[in-house]
Amino acid sequence: MAQGKMDRRTLEEIRDRLVAALARARAEDEDAAESSLAEPRRLRFGMLAAASGARRLPPHALHVREGWRLQAEFGRATAALAVTLEAQGAPSIRRLRERRAHLSTPDGRVGYDFRFDPYGRARLSLSAESEIESSLAQGFDVEIDEG
């Protein structure tokens, strides 16, 4: 059997190399997850405006996920349904300002391209049809474009 003297520094280096190699190998595994967090692209906000089955929109809805906070407000006029999207807090404003985005409903009734302003706000004007409101009330997505 191989026997031999080993000093403390060698033992430490065996441990340190192991720690570094493990950290490197795990970083490789996690790279995809970390980079999607670091460089958000085409984030989808599943904004459930109301409980399933609801046909009327509530006054507002709030979407929160890590580092992202976006509020939607709904205002009704005779011919238009106004949807105001507003980033809440500096981190969200920083991420959303001047970004292009797309609002859509899963049933395909609503599809609306828009851009957030420098303050992370966007005002959308939709047709005030009951089908549109009902579709939005089932939940909708706000997809942030790349770039």
Partner 1 sequence: MQNRHLVGFSAHVAKILNTPGPDGWVRVRPFALWMRLMRTLAHGRDGEHRRRILGAHLMGLDSEGEDAEQAAETWMREVLQRPLRIRAGRQAQQAHLLLEALIRRAPGMEGARLMRGGEPPDGEPPALLADLAVRLGRLAAAREIKGAPLRLEVEGAALPVPPELSVWEALEHAPPLMRVLATPAEQDPFFHLMIRAMETANVLWGRSVALGLSPKDHDLSVNQIKSLQAFVAAAGGRRARPERAALEAAWAKSPVTNFRSLDAFLADPVGRELFAGFSQPSLTPFDEARDAEIPAEESRLTLDDETLRRNLKILRARAVIDDLDLQIYDALLKERALKDIHGLPWARKAFPTFDSLIDHTDMLVKKIDREIAAFDEEGPEDR
Using DSSP, state whether 112 is helix, strand or coil: strand
User: Residue for token digits 């991420």?
Assistant: 95
β-strand partners of 79 = none
Residue 71 Cβ, how far from partner 1 at the closest point, in Å?
A: 13
How many residues line the site for partner 1 (CB under 8 A)? 45
Q: Counting contacts by CB under 8 A, is residue 20 touching partner 1?
A: yes
Contact window for partner 1 (CB under 8 A) among 10-18, 53-61, 112-120, 124-132: 10-18
CB-based burial label for 142 (10 Å; 0-12, 13-18, 19+): buried
Question: Which residues within the stretch 65-94 sit at the binding site for partner 1 (CB under 8 A)?
Answer: 65-69, 88-92
Question: Residue 31 corresponds to which tokens in the numbers above?
Answer: 């790279």
Q: What are phi and psi of 56, to 5 degrees?
A: -110, 145
The DSSP symbol for 67 reads T
Q: Counting contacts by CB under 8 A, is residue 32 touching partner 1?
A: no
Separation CA 50–CA 52 (nearest Å): 6
Task: Say if CB 117 and CB 98 are below 8 A apart.
Answer: yes
Q: Counting contacts by CB under 8 A, is residue 108 touching partner 1?
A: no
Residue 52 Cβ, how far from partner 1 at the closest point, in Å?
A: 25
Q: Counting contacts by CB under 8 A, is residue 146 touching partner 1?
A: no
CB of 25 or CB of 80, closer to partner 1: 25
Residue 61 Cβ, how far from partner 1 at the closest point, in Å?
A: 17
Residues of the shown chain interacting with partner 1 in the complex, contacts defined by CB under 8 A? 1-8, 10-31, 34, 37-39, 64-69, 88-92
